[in-house]
Amino acid sequence: MHVMIIGAAGMIGRKLAERIAETGCIGGQIVCELTLVDVVEPDVAGGFDGMRKVLAADLSKPGVAARLVANRPDVIVHLAAVVSGEAEADLEKGYRINLDGTRALLEAIRSIEKYVPRVIYASSLAVFGAPFPSKIPDDYHLTPLTSYGTQKAIGELMLNDYSRRGLLDGVGIRFPTICIRPGVPNKAASGFFSGILREPLNGKEAVLPVDETVRHWFASPRSAVGYIEHAATMDTASLGAQRNMTMPGVSATVAEQIDALRLTAGDAAVALIRRAPDPDITSIVAGWPQDFDTARALKMGFRAEKSFREIIEVYLEDEMGTPAPSDGAPPQAPQHLRDAQDVTP
């Protein structure tokens, strides 16, 4: 199987590539060729026994999509995007990357005779906009209130249409907000959800720009990779014409996030969170959904964490090398926090 990851320099793309390199498989099927693409050349750690190609390319530029699919990859993971805050600030860039790039990819696939690859499209909860019910069902209509959400909603509709026509075999994944994201903050409006946990766990101050009553839908980077692995080889016949699904996750308030941080790392970590209300971010977040009924995705075999404590444990294990205890006790706080105050592991 030949897998192409577009957006491989991003956090999810990098982790997916490293997972494939580690296991040699995706969704239980052997990967013999791996192509990694981004606007900057992806730097992915880990070896890979098969053929590996790394490319710097902008999908939205003329002719690029056609060159990328010329070798007919079996699975195309389309993660490339301008994230929410940046897409709202730069209208032209958001539509060029998020919409024009996606259409260019689908059209390039359509132009190749007898070529029907599995296309995994990274969508977003931003396709939903207020007013909506407290728990959004699978069949709820798309009413985005941001440019990013609009661009992703159009991409979802195109994925449905090209799949209906038999031009590709699409699976659209509406990712929860991925938390805790490793590394440095990106330009996503949702970045603070990770920051208020990641920074304190690393002994740094974090800024909280919204009220603690804000509720949102979350999953870990490990779950994000798992969604794609499952989507790569699942039986899509039962999806029918509706190819896009909201992924399972955890609904939690900011206060519940902070409580999970306190349980894990104590008051010393929580004390590093500085409240600094930001009206712009508050306005964007106010239009975001809070909870979902993901029965369809669960029935299809997608899985995620069941509590925010589990999400923090994934970060401690995957990014800080601190595995959670096997006896179910709270994971051990990082050493610098235990040094700062008495925190019982």
Which residues are catalytically annotated?
Answer: 148
For residue 11, the tally of other CB atoms under 10 A from its CB is: 18
Contact 289, 247 (CB under 8 A): no
Q: Is 330 helix (H, G, I), strand (E, B) or coil?
A: coil
C-alpha distance from residue 200 to each of 29, 96, 98 (Å): 39, 36, 33
Type of residue found at 182: P
As a residue count, the chain comes to 345
DSSP letters for 137-151: -TTPPP---SHHHHH
124: tokens are 């977003």
Q: Is 168 helix (H, G, I), strand (E, B) or coil?
A: coil
Angle of helix 221-233 relative to helix 11-23, nearest 10 degrees? 60
Contact 213, 253 (CB under 8 A): yes
Contact 127, 156 (CB under 8 A): yes
184: tokens are 């440095």
Contact 147, 91 (CB under 8 A): yes
